Amino acid sequence: MATSITKEEDNFLRIVYLNYRVGTTALRRYFDNVHPNLPSDLSSPTNKSILASLHKPTPRGQRKVLYQEQWDILYPPSGSHVVSSADLDVTLMVCLLRNIPQKVIPPINGFDALPQSTDLSRGAHIARIKYYKNYLVSHSKDGKLSNADFNTIWIDLEMAIIGLGNQHDVKDAAEAKSKSLDYNSLQELVHIDTRLNYHTNEIAKQTSKIEKLETTVEAMEKGNI
């Protein structure tokens, strides 16, 4: 597979490289500028309270944003590990950027949708990287992109990388179209993310079932059922 792939497969893996290697690095550099002392920001009582409300939301039934595995990354149980942006994936970086100061202003349709091409705000650039990371995971089984889709996504991601403002990442993005790629490692990278995404979704389903059961038990104890 590494020596004979179709143009559509090359398109897909080249976008994987642009997003996972260049785009994520650009986002991480930006994140480090916003949170140059991440351990201090995480230990702030105000910020920890904000994140705790996303981990165990009240009232019960509100959608949980941070799952236990993610919480343990931010607040390691042992307490000995010093957390840095290198420990965070795109999802966690975006979660912190959108919820704790200095909060990034969200694009018009929020961080979970693809922004309009005319939106050149930092929030929109962050949303583009997040959106296409999820897009690649959802399309990993097919692993192909038409030339038209490739060009559209490339323009969007390159815009995001340039917009986040690091010249080294801008240079890497410009070189990525013709760069010789390790196809096998890129395929494994997106497959790992696909498995993690499935695992997270399963956790969310089980958590929802548990919360519904707890709500029912509470209602029974109060005599409402």
Residue 37: alpha-carbon gap to chain centroid? 20
Q: Which DSSP string corresponds to 79-137? A: S-S---GGG--HHHHHHHHHHSSSPPPPPTT-TTSPPPTT--SHHHHHHHHHHHHHHHH
Mean pLDDT, residues 134-158: 90
- Of the given ranges (17-31, 47-61, 79-93), which has the lowest mean pLDDT? 47-61
Instruction: Report pLDDT digits (tens) over 191-202.
Output: 655 544 544 444
Identify which has the larger pLDDT, 63 or 55: 55
- Predicted structure pTM score: 0.81
Local confidence band at 221 (pLDDT 50, 70, 90 cut-offs): low
Is residue 10 predicted with pLDDT exceeding 70?
A: yes
3-state secondary structure of 220: helix
Q: What is the mean pLDDT of residues 86-114?
A: 95
Average pLDDT on 102-129 reads: 95
